[in-house]
Structure formats: structure tokens, C-alpha cells
Amino acid sequence: MSADLPAGMADPFEANIASLLAHYGGIPGGEIADTPAVRVSTTNQASRTLNAASVAILPADKQFLIRTTIAATLDFFARRGQPWRWIVGSTSQPDGLGDELVAAGLVLGAEVPTMSLSLDCWLPDPDGPAGLDVREVEEAASFEAWIEVQRSGLEFPPRAAEAWEAVHRALGWGRGLPLRNYVGLIGDRPVGAAALYLGGVAGGEDVAGIYNVATIPEARGMGIARALTLAALRDGQAAGRHVASLGSSPMGLSVYHRLGFVEVGRLRWYTTPEWR
């Protein structure tokens, strides 16, 4: 099921997630404040996941520029009073950016592997447990089922869950949009969810970003996440994307390895202590 990644291809995930965050920031009430040095966007909603700085490109020998950029970014989010994070991936510069962020008072929140898969290969049909119905979210009822799984499977705190729902409701749903959502049901019960982001281009390749893969706790270990990921991958392939990319939780790592994903980098995020 696997094919080689394009020769010399850099880790595409950081650019893809930065594009997704800008997509989030484009909702009514959101803000995008990109500069040549760093991408900054906020939904002005109370979720650290939705508000971020990313893809910093700062010369290692320009300490004054590094520190003033970090200070300006901290001030941007402090004035809005919303939780946020600074994402540092394989394309961020300088190499010691994380240390600079810690010196400025931020703390490391998490580090995850980034993974890629060539889509120039055969992909099996989504399977899963008997009775699993995987469908794309194309109307309100399916969205309500999708958001129900997101709340339970991703275990959001209440305020963050409200923000997550508000932003995705504002973005809408449907096959023609850059962010496409999928829900899995057994009978009439929502048990799994995933998302496919087609808006980002990185490394000369069109990238299918896989996000928000979740299974309700009582249905884990049944192959539901695999089936939903495959549904998204097949649609990414049909849309002409050649590479899929994602950031994996510890729970999902073995699932993605079995699908043929390979680890291509690491992604860390930092935040101020009050939003950790």
C-alpha cells in the first residue's frame, strides 16, 4: 500500500497546519497578522488549538530581530486575552527557536512526530467493524454527529469544546471546501470522526493534511480511526494530492504506521504558562 515519498521532500506538515490555522483565522471575528518573519492567526475563540504563531523564519545571527519578533507576537496574543500556542516544526528557523521562546517565558506544551505518506499508491477501501458507516459531513445532522465525536474523542475542556464547535460551524461543510469533515456511525450512534485539509501547498507538492481523527472512548481499538483516515486519504488522492501529512498522538502512532506513514520530523508547541 505504500510508495516512496518524493526524493528530497522536506517535512510538509508545518506549512500545512499553518495554512489550516490561517483558514481558521479567516472566520468572521478572526484575524490573520502574517509578517515576513512569522505567520500569526487567531479565531478570537477560547481554544489554544485554534490560535497560533507558526512557520517562523528568523536568521540565527539576528538576535535583535528574533527577540523583537517574539515580543511582538506575545504582545499580539496578550492584548486579545485568548489562549494560543507557538508551533515549531521542521521548517522553523533558527534551529534554536525553542530555546529562544523558553527564554522569553514560554513553556513547552507537547512534542509529536510528524508523518507523511505518498498517495501515489493503491489505497484499500475503508473498512472497520461490522455496520460502520463512514460518510462525509455535508449537512447539519452529520455535522452535529461529527462535533459530538470531537467533544468526546478529543476530550476538550468545556470552553475549548464550545470554541471548537463555533469555529467549525462558521466554516461550514461540503465537498467544495478546503476543510472536509468525516463521521463514522454504527447504527445511529456517532463513534468516529476525522478531517481532510486540502488548502495547503508545501515543498512543491500538493498536500492532503489529515486532522482531528477521534474515536469515542468506548469504541477504541475496533479499527474505526483507520477507516476514517482511509476515507480522508482516498478523497485526498482523488483531489490530486500526492502526499498526505499529519501530526500523530501517541494513541494514533501504530495506526498510521500500519497505513504506511513514515516519520519525517517533529513538531513542538509552546505557550505562556497560563495557557499550558
104 in a domain, yes or no? yes
Residues 257 and 122 reside in one and the same domain? yes
CB 262 within 8 A of CB 5: yes
- For the residues of 40-105, what is the DSSP string, one character each? EEE-SSS-GGGSEEE--B--TT-HHHHHHHHHHHHHHHHHHT---EEEE-TT-BSTTHHHHHHHTT
Residues 76 and 180 reside in one and the same domain? no
Residues 99 and 145 reside in one and the same domain? no
76 in a domain, yes or no? yes
Q: How far is CA 225 from CA 26, 42, 172, 184, in A?
A: 29, 29, 23, 9
79 backbone dihedrals φ, ψ, rounded to 5°: -70, -20
- Tally of CB atoms within 10 A around 3: 13
Residues 123 and 201 reside in one and the same domain? yes
41 in a domain, yes or no? yes
1 in a domain, yes or no? no
Residues 126 and 209 reside in one and the same domain? yes
251 in a domain, yes or no? yes
Residues 133 and 148 reside in one and the same domain? yes
Residues 149 and 25 reside in one and the same domain? no
84 in a domain, yes or no? yes
Residues 143 and 244 reside in one and the same domain? yes
21 in a domain, yes or no? yes
Amino acid at 64: F
Read off the pLDDT of residues 78-102 as tens digits, 9 standing for 90 and up. Answer: 999 999 999 999 999 999 999 999 9
Structural domain of 102: 13-113+268-275
Residues 136 and 236 reside in one and the same domain? yes
Residue 30 is predicted with a pLDDT of 97
CA atoms of 154 and 216, how far apart (whole Å): 8
For the chain, the residue count is 276
202 pairs with which residues across the strands?
A: 205
Residue 61 is predicted with a pLDDT of 93
Angle at CA of residue 242, ends 32 and 4, nearest 5°: 125
Residue 204 is predicted with a pLDDT of 45
2 in a domain, yes or no? no
Number of domains comprising the chain:
2
Residues 198 and 161 reside in one and the same domain? yes
Give mean pLDDT in consecutive 10-residue pieces for the chain, a chain of 276 residues. Answer: 57 93 96 94 95 95 96 96 95 95 97 95 86 96 98 93 97 93 97 93 72 97 96 95 95 94 96 88
Task: Report the predicted TM-score, pTM, of the whole model to 2 decimal places.
Answer: 0.93
Looking at residue 233, which CATH number applies to its domain?
3.40.630.30
Read off the pLDDT of residues 168-214 as tens digits, 9 standing for 90 and up. Answer: 999 999 888 999 999 999 999 999 999 999 986 554 458 999 999 99
Residues 161 and 91 reside in one and the same domain? no
Residues 201 and 77 reside in one and the same domain? no
